[in-house]
Amino acid sequence: MTTLLTTHLGSFKPIRRGKVRDLYALEDEGLLLVATDRISAFDHVLATGIPDKGKILTQVSLFWFDLLKDIVPNHLITANVDEYPERLRPYTDQLRGRSMLVKQAQMFPIECVARGYLSGSGWKEYQASGAVCGVKLPEGLAESSRLPEPIYTPATKSPDGAHDENISFAETERIVGSEDAAELRRLTLEIYRRATEHAESRGLILADTKFEFGRTEDRVILADEVLTPDSSRFWNAQGWQPGGAQPSFDKQFVRDYLESIHWNKQAPAPGLPEDVVERTRAKYLEAFRRLTGKNPEL
C-alpha cells in the first residue's frame, strides 16, 4: 500500500497545506481540494501517514454531501477527475478518489459544532462550569451521557492549525452578525439531526461533529469535509455505556500509542509503528462501510 503525504502538481502551487488537505486555486475554475494520507494528533502532523485515508475521507464526504443536499447546498462542483480541467490530467493518479473540484466561497471564521452527547472538550467544560459554550446543562451528567437535546457549541477557527477554542453564541453573533449566526446554528442542528438518524440506522452513534460553512453570492453553503471520522465522533451504539470515554471510529489507536510512548506533544512529531497504522486504517474503512453500506474505491 502506498501513502500520499504531499501532493506535487507540477507548476500548480498550493495556496495552503492544512493538516490533511492541500488546497489549490484554479483561477476561474474553482478550488482543488486534495485529501492526503497525513494524520494529525494533539495538533501536530505525524511523520507517518495512513494509507488510503485521504480517499476514504473524501468519499465519506461525498456520500454526506449527497444525503444532505436537500437541507443545504454544498461547494462541490465535481469529484470525477475526468471532468477536471485538461491541465490537471497529468496528475490523475494523485487526484483520483481523493480530490474535489469545489466552488470558491467566503468562509465563515467559525467551527460550527453540534453535540448530542457529552464528550471531549464539552465534557471538560461541563465539569468546570456545568455548561458548554454558555449552554447550561442538567446537573449530574456523566461523561458520554446523551444530552436532553442536541446543542450548538461553536468554536473559533484557528488559521494556523492551532487548537480551536469554544465560544458562546453571543461571541459568534459578534464575529459574523446576528442573522448569519442564527442561520449557522439552524443549519448545524438540522444537519446533525439528519446525520444522527442515518447513523442510528447503521448502528452508530454520532456523538458530536463540526461543520464549516461559506457564502457564495447570497447563499450559505456547506464546505470542506463533512461527517468524516476526522471531524466527527462516531461510537458503536451497541457498546455505548455512559460513565467514561467510548471507543470511537477515528484515530484513537494513534492517540493511545502516542500517550504510551510519553511523547511531549511538541514538534517534531514521531512516526507510527506498522500495527498502529494498520489498525487505524481498518477503523477508517469500517466507518466508511458502516455509514455507506459499500466499499470505497481505493
Q: Can you give the residue range of the structural domain that contains 231?
A: 106-239
Angle in degrees, CA 288, 239, 140, rounded to 5: 115
**In a shared domain, residues 66 and 116:** no
The Cα–Cα gap between 184 and 52 comes to 32
**Cβ neighbours of residue 93 closer than 8 Å, sequence gap 6 or more:** none
CATH code of residue 126: 3.30.470.20
Counting the structural domains of the chain, the total is 2
**In a shared domain, residues 25 and 81:** yes
User: What Rg do the C-alpha atoms of the chain give, in angstroms?
Assistant: 19
Question: Final residue of a domain: which of 216, 239, 262?
Answer: 239
**In a shared domain, residues 3 and 49:** yes
Q: What is the band of 119 on the pLDDT scale with cuts at 50, 70, 90?
A: very high
The tens digit of pLDDT for each residue in 198-256 reads: 999 999 999 999 999 999 988 999 999 999 999 999 999 999 999 999 999 888 889 89
The tens digit of pLDDT for each residue in 145-195 reads: 999 999 999 999 765 555 678 999 999 999 999 999 999 999 999 999 999
The tens digit of pLDDT for each residue in 89-106 reads: 999 999 999 999 999 999
Question: Final residue of a domain: which of 71, 89, 104?
Answer: 104
Beta bridge partners of 45: 40
The tens digit of pLDDT for each residue in 26-74 reads: 988 899 999 999 999 988 999 999 999 999 999 999 999 999 999 999 9
The Cα–Cα gap between 134 and 171 comes to 10
pTM of the model: 0.94
The Cα–Cα gap between 260 and 72 comes to 42
In a domain, 152, yes or no: yes
**In a shared domain, residues 234 and 110:** yes
Give the pLDDT mean for 3-13: 94
CA torsion through residues 286, 164, 144, 211, sign: negative
Q: What is the band of 261 on the pLDDT scale with cuts at 50, 70, 90?
A: very high
25: exposed, middle or buried (Cβ count in 10 Å: 0-12, 13-18, 19+): middle
CATH code of residue 7: 3.30.200.20
CA distances from 115 to 35, 123, 234 (A): 25, 11, 12
**In a shared domain, residues 116 and 211:** yes
**Amino acid at site 107:** M
The Cα–Cα gap between 158 and 179 comes to 23
